[in-house]
Every structure is written in C-alpha cells, then in structure tokens.
Structure 1
Amino acid sequence: MAAAGAPVTNRSYREVLRHRGVAGLLAGDLLAGAGTGMLLVAMPVQTLAIHGSVPRAVAIGLVAASPFILSTILASVIGLGRAGVAPRTLLIADCVLRAVTFTTLGLLAVTDRLTLPVLLAGLLFGSLFRLAGSSSRRLLATSMAGDEGRFAVNGLLGLNMSVALYVVGPVLGGIVVASAGAGVALLADAAGALILLVATLVSVPRGDAGRGVPRRGVAGESGWRILRRRPVAARLLIVVFFFNFFYMPIEVALPLYVRGSLDAGASALGLLWGALGAGAFVGAALVNQLRNLPQRHLLIAIIGLWGMCPIALALTGDLTVAMIVFGLGGLVWAPFTPVAYSFVQSGLEPDEHQPVVTLWTTGATVAAPLGLLAGGPLVELAGVTGGLVLSGVLTLLLLPIAAVAVLRRD
C-alpha cells in the first residue's frame, strides 16, 4: 500500500468547512466532545467517592475500561463481517443510548444513589455503539468532503478532540466537579450526546448515510480480508495497538499523581488535561501543514517523542512543570491519529472504507480496555511514579519494531 495513490490536491481547513454538512457535523462533534472531556475529571473523582473496598487504582481502571468492552465486540462484528450498517444509523444509535445512560447515571450521582457496580454496568451497556459511532462519524465527514478533503477532515476531527476533549472539557469539568459535583458533569455529557444527535440528523442527508457501505445485494469483503491485501496498513495497526496500550497506565496513574506527587485536587487534574489539550490543539492545527512530509517517518517520530513525556512527568512534583511537559506531549501526539487514518484511507475503494475503518478503529481502541485493566494492578504494584516511567520506557522500546513494521515496503 502506498502512502498515497494518484496525486491529490489536499484542501485546506477553510475550504473543507465551506461544506455545510461537514461543518455542521464537526460542530456537533466539538460540542459533544466538550461534555465527554468533562468526564476525564468527573469519572475519577466519582470513582474515588464510591470505590468502597476496591483498591483505588483498580477501581479507576475498571471504570475507564468498561465503556470499551461491549463496544469493541460490536465494532469487531461490523469490521469482520460482510454486511454493512449505514454509518448514520450507527451514529444516531450511539447518541440516543449515550444520552439516556448518562442522564440516568447523572441523576443517581446527584442524589447520592450511584454505586460502583451500577456505574460499571451503565458504562458497559450505555457505550455499546461507542466505537461504531466514532468510526461512523469519521466515515460520514470524510465521505462528504471527498478524497481532496479527507486529510483536512481527519485533521479537524483531531483538532476537535484536542480542543473539546482535552482543553475545554477538562477545565469545565474541574470547575463543575469542584462547585456542583461529578453528577452534573455526567448530565453535561448526556446533553452533548443530544447535540451531536441533532447535528447528525440535520447535517447528514439520508443519501449520504450509506456511503462507504457495501450495496444491498452485493457481498462486501470483511475488513480483515481487505487489510491482508495491504500489509503495511495491517502492520501499522499492530504498532498503533501497542502505542495505545502502553499509554493507558497514564490515565490510571494521573488522578493519583495529582493527589500524591502534586498534592492537588480536581481543578489541578483539569488543568493538567487542559495543558495536554492546549498542546494538542497547536499540533492538530498544524496537521494540514504536515501533509507533504513522509507519513511513515512522521508516525515513528511521534512515537519516540511521546515516549519521553510520561518519564519526564514522573520526575517532577511541580504543577507548572507538569503542565508544560504534558502540553509538549500533546503537541507531538496530536498529529498521530489524523496522519495514520489518512494513510490507511488513501488506498481504499469507496465500498472498503466502512469495514476497514471500523475494524481499524476497533483494533486500535481495543488497546484501551486492555491497557486500563492492566494499568490498575500495574500502578498499584509499581506505584504512580513507577507506572509512569514504565509507560514511557515501553513506548520507547516500540520504536525499532515500529521502524521495521512501517518503513518496510511491500
């Protein structure tokens, strides 16, 4: 698979946003992401309030992993199967189920009736369409933008995530949790899901709902079969899996790092995530300027630079320094996902996008629950500082493997 097929003139962010459908869907994604970003602060705080006899790190890991378990199974079925489901339908289902679930969890939390088993069950079933909805959002936006707008749309989706999930969301989450409680932040995420639902219904015409899905009556190929014909993409998927897997202990360690090493509370946790998002915002804003660089080498450089971040974080006990380190980490990490997806999508036929992107998203994201489940006991045994250092060292050890996997041409 080549990094690009026939030469394509990549459009700028401004040109892509002139398409009303793309702009509307991305606006809904941005507002919904802000609600989800609040959970980065609210979920650990809520978990620590109700963990009971379960060790803190283990409880945080379980809560963070729960949304991925059933959603991974469903997305795997879609990616490995031959029958396509319209991306618009999957995204709508995700928004509706998420709104109902987080409204219920938020009301229980506000009334002090939320328990750890109920929270785990709610996250398990309420996130059933999470991965399918995420890949569908990308498919809908890139299909409306066309081949020339794909790189810009992937960059804008990364920009949305940086701004909403790691800047606005955590900062608002820290303020809301400190002033009104974690339950209000859960209700805010439900409201974000409703906003994305409206944006999808208004911005994505039914005629665009099935793009990238095999036509009725035509036997489509599974995502795995298509990836086997593109070994570079398959090997890159393995690299991305371990890149994400080695990152996950950071999410378990960070709330404990703030309470312990930094001796701070929810507001500091929000500021730390906000610093990551601020750096990621700059990195994502520059993605479109990186389109002419060798994508394979760029991906490897990002892995190496990010690996230094948790190690540097473990060496400081000062909030300001930690924010600078995390901000620089966000700067180098942000281009990774847009570049990786653009690289994979560039060699696909229209009917191949949904099975491959869904399977690729699932394979990359399944590292999250596995890494979180492993991260809880790891941080409990190695300690917060040891867990952060180990995350960075393992990521750096991935560099030679990534070089062989990605730079090798077929």
Structure 2
Amino acid sequence: MSTVAAQPANRTYREVLRNRQVAGLLLGDLLANVGTGMIIVAMPVQTLSIHGSVPSAIAIGLVEAAPFVLSTILALAIGLGRVRVPPRTLLIADCVLRSLTFAGLGIVAVTGHLTLPVLIVGLLFGATFRMAGSSCRRLLATSMAGEDGRFAVNGLLGLTSTFALYIVGPVLGGVIVASTSAGVVLFFDACGALILLAAVVISVPRTVHNRDALRHPHAHESGWRILRRRTVAARLLIVVFFFNFFYMPIEVALPLYVQQDLDADASGLGLMWGALGLGAFLGAALVNQLRNLDQRRVLIAIIGLWAMCPIVLAFVDDLALAALAFGLGGLVWAPFTPVAYSFLQSGLASGEQQQVVTLWTTGAAVAAPLGLVLGGPLIVLSGITGGLVLSGVLTLLLLPIAARAVLRDRGADSGPPGVTT
C-alpha cells in the first residue's frame, strides 16, 4: 500500500461538510441511526413481552441474531463473488425493505398480534441488505468526498453513529418505551429508514462510485482474489476481525463485574455504558485531529492502548474509577474503525472498493455474535477478573500481527489507482 507519489493532504470535517451532497447523505445516516439506537432499547423489551414459553435469554438471543443471518450471506456473496450491484441501488433496497418491515412489525405490535416467530422472521428478512447497505453508505460518502476527503468522511461516520447509536437513540428509545410501548419505537426506525432513503435519492448521483469503478479491470473480480493479491488488506482484515472478537467477552462480563466487583446496581451499569459512549463520542470527534498523522502507527497505538482498558478494569473495585477507565477506553477505541477503513481504502483501486469494504464490514459484524457466544463460557471458566484480563492480553497479541500487516512488506501490494509501486 505504499506509493511513490505524494498524496493530497486530508481535508477537515468542516471542509468536507461544505459539499452539500456529502452533508446530505451523512445527515440522513445520522437520523437513520437514531432510529436504530432506539431499537437497541426497545427490542429486548418487546421480546420479553412476547417470548411465551421460550426462555427469555434464548428468545433475546434469537431476536438479536436474526438480522445477521441473511445479511451475512448476501454480504459474503457480494464480497466473495463476481456479481456487482451498484452501491446506491443496494442502499436504496436496504432503506425500502427496512422501512416496510419495521412499519409492518410496528402495526402488528401495537395491535397486540405480534408473536416471537413473526418478530424473528420479520427481522430475518427485513435486514437482508443490512450489512451490504452499511458498507454502501461508506463507499458512496467517500466516493463523493474524493481521496482527500476520505479520512474526514470515515471519521464523521464514526462520530455520527456513536452519537446516534449510543447517546441519543437509547435515551429517546427508553423515554418512548416508558411512555408508550416498545412497538411504537418500531415506527421510528421505519421513519429513519425513509429519511435515509430520501437522502440517498436527493444527495447521491446515480453515477457516483460506478463511473470509474465499473470500467476498472478488477471491477468484476472476487474479493477473495483481491485479498490474495493485496496481502496487507488481508492481514489487516484478520486484525479487524479479532479486535472486535476479543472485545465481546467484556460485554458478557460487564454486568457481572458491576454487580459483584463494584457492588453496584443497574444504574451503575448504565453509568459504565454512558462513560464508554461519552468517551467514544469524544474520540470520534478527535479523529479529525489525527488526519495528518501516520495512520499505520495510529492503528497500532489504538490496539495497544485499548488492550489496557479491560486489564485495568480487572484490578479496579471503585465505580467512579471503573467508569473513568471505561470512558478512556472508549476515547481510544473510537478512532479505530475510521482510521482502519481510511488506510484500507487508500490502497485499493476504485474497482476493488465494494468487494473488499463489504468483506470488512461483514467480518467486523460477524465477530460480534461469535464473540458473544464464546464469551459466556470464557467468563464461566476464567471468572470475571480472569475474563477481563484475558480479553486484554489476547488483544495485545494482535500487536505483532498488526505491525506486520501495516509496517512490513509495504511494497508488496499495488498502491492506489494510477500509482505504480
């Protein structure tokens, strides 16, 4: 991923947002994510009210896992296959299907006819384009911003998603669930999808991303072949997957850690998640200040610093100190995704972006349920403190892999389009 030509200086958030098309798409994405953040709170409540004879933990697990099944299959088909569907078309399909599905589920819920099988099937099919649509948002926004605006766009996507998914959305969702019902929140998510649909139709030209990408000689090449040729991207994909995978045991351990080690109640757990969300929001905002640093070394530093967070938590028994440590962890963790994607995209030709970015999005997303499934037995075997320490130590073991991925053999891969290495 090295180049012999000087790359243009990365633009700031403000400079990128002067492009009305980019700003329009990012605004639509922000409002859509608010609806998704509300669902994070409402879906477990809705599930518990209709789980019937199915054990509550199993019912919640099935509902949480349903959106990943078909969306993962489709995303892998796009990333590993040769068929190319324009990103704008995929994102529109995602918005339409999501809005129809959640509006339908909302109607069934508020009329008292929603059952657990109906909810699971609805989420299964309604989220078919979920992962592909997520990668398409990034592709379209970075394509419109250009090479010098890519870093800022990736940073803004992280900033807005953190703000919507972990701060505004859950708060609004909790208020609406408490004042009305969980079923009402389903309509808000449907509205969010419609808002994003309008933003795509208005702000994204039909030719964006496809104009140069489809003419590229690798436009119909599978993502697997691209990764075999671009070994830096392949190695870094492994790092991204396991970075997310090793984080998941923390989510399993955290409620037990707050209850037993910190001797706190549900409000303490809320404080911990609030601290992480606030830290992540500040970290996403600070990505703008990292734009002119060496992205390779920033990635390695993030991995090492985040790994210390669960290790520190394992030896803290005070709620205030634990919240501070978790908040600092969020501050460090937030820049990882925008920096990683910016580094990845800078070394891919236009005809390779969709396949590889879709694979990356899928890998990061699939790591979550897999990590949660294995996190439970890990915590049972090693205990709360042992599980936290193990999560941090395993993340530290990614450092040499990450260093090899981004610091060594930099001339082995082809550089960005039009540049000879």
Which TM-score tier does this pair reach, normalised by the shorter chain?
0.7 to 0.9
- Would you say the 8 A contact 1:13–1:156 is kept in 2? yes
- 2:233 alignment counterpart: 233
The whole-number CA distance in structure 2 between the counterparts of 1:180 and 1:232 is 50
> 1:10 matched to which residue of 2?
10
Corresponding residue for residue 130 of structure 1: 130
Say if 2:275 is the partner of 1:275: yes
Are the equivalent residues in 2 in contact too, given 1:16–1:22 (CA < 8 A)? Answer: yes
Q: Which residue of 1 aligns with 2:88?
A: 88
Matched, 1:182 2:172: no
- Mean Cα deviation higher: 119-128 or 153-162: 119-128
Higher alpha-carbon deviation: 155-164 or 223-232: 223-232
Q: Quick check: 1:57–1:376 contact (8 Å CA) kept in 2? A: no
Q: Could you tell me how far apart the structure 1 residues matched to 2:106 and 2:17 are?
A: 34
- Give the whole-Å Cα distance in 1 for the aligned partners of 2:333 and 2:4: 22
Range 180-189 or range 88-97, more displaced:
180-189
Compare 57-66 and 210-219 and name the one that shifted more: 210-219
Superposition deviation, residue 195 in structure 1: 1.0
Q: Is the contact made by 1:212 and 1:354 (CA closer than 8 Å) also made in structure 2?
A: no
> Which residue identity is paired with 2:210?
G
Mapped to 1, the partners of 2:172 and 2:270 lie a distance apart of 8
Q: Matches of residues 120-199 of structure 1 in structure 2 within 5 Å?
A: 120-199=120-199
Compare 221-230 and 90-99 and name the one that shifted more: 221-230
Q: Secondary structure at the match of 2:214?
A: coil
**Is the alpha carbon distance of 1:4 and 1:42 closer, same or farther for their aligned partners in structure 2, counting shifts above 3 Å?**
farther
1:231 shift after superposition:
0.8
| Partner of residue 248, structure 1 | 248
Shift of 1:354: 1.4
Q: Is the CA contact 1:33–1:161 (under 8 Å) kept in the aligned structure 2?
A: yes
> 1:332 is matched with which residue?
332
Q: CA deviation at 1:96?
A: 1.2
Structure 1 position 42 matched with structure 2 position 29: no
After superposition, the C-alpha distances for 1:141-160 in whole angstroms (9 at most, x for unaligned) are: 01111111111111111111
Report the equivalent of 2:299.
299
Question: For the Cα contact (< 8 Å) 1:58–1:377, is it kept in 2?
Answer: no
Counterparts of 1:10 and 1:102, CA distance in 2 = 39
Q: Secondary structure at the match of 1:122?
A: helix
Tell me what 1:28 maps to: 28
Cross-structure match for 1:75: 75
Mean Cα displacement is larger for which, 217-226 or 243-252?
Answer: 217-226
Structure 1 residue matching 2:85: 3-state secondary structure: coil
Q: How does 1:252-267 map to 2 (within 5 A)?
A: 252=252, 254=254, 264-265=265-266
Residues 69/239 of structure 1: CA separation in 2 closer, same or farther (3 Å cut): same
Which stretch has the larger CA shift, 373-382 or 218-227? 373-382
- Aligned CA RMSD, in angstroms, stands at 3.1
Partner of 1:97: 97
Contact 1:4-1:347 at 8 Å conserved across structures: no
Single out whichever of 106-115 and 299-308 deviates more from structure 2.
106-115
What is the aligned partner in structure 1 of residue 419 from structure 2?
Answer: none
In the superposition, the TM-score normalised over structure 2's length comes to: 0.86
C-alpha contact (below 8 Å) 1:16/1:153 kept by paired residues: yes
The aligned amino acid for 1:398 is L
Q: CA deviation at 1:404?
A: 3.7
Q: Which region of structure 1 is more displaced relative to structure 2, 34-43 or 339-348?
A: 34-43
* Separation in structure 2 between the aligned mates of residue 54 and residue 380 of structure 1, nearest angstrom: 23
Of stretches 53-62 and 14-23 in structure 1, the one that deviates more from structure 2 is: 53-62
Aligned to 1:373: 373
Give the number of the structure whose alpha-carbon radius of gyration is greater. Answer: 2
State the 1:307 CA deviation.
Answer: 2.5
Change in Cα spacing, 1:377 to 1:196, as seen in structure 2 (3 Å) is farther
Q: Report the residue type matching 2:139 in the other structure.
A: L
Q: Secondary structure at the match of 2:191?
A: helix
Q: Look up the SS of the partner of 1:286 in the other structure.
A: helix
Deviation at 1:278, TM superposition (A): 1.7
Looking at structure 2, the residues matched to 98 and 119 of structure 1 have their Cα atoms a distance apart, in angstroms, of 13
Q: Would you say the 8 A contact 1:86–1:210 is kept in 2?
A: yes
CA distance in structure 1 between the aligned counterparts of 2:389 and 2:61, rounded to whole angstroms? 18
Question: What is the Cα deviation at residue 212 of structure 1?
Answer: 5.9
Greater CA drift, 108-117 or 11-20 = 108-117
| Distance in 1, Cα, partners of 2:303 & 2:49 | 35
**What displacement does 1:217 show?**
11
* CA distance in structure 1 between the aligned counterparts of 2:123 and 2:256, rounded to whole angstroms: 22
Q: 1:4 to 1:33 in 2, by over 3 A?
A: farther
Question: Which amino acid is 1:142 matched to?
Answer: T
Tell me how far apart the structure 2 counterparts of residues 279 and 396 of structure 1 sit (CA, whole Å). 21
The one-letter amino acid of 1:298's match is V
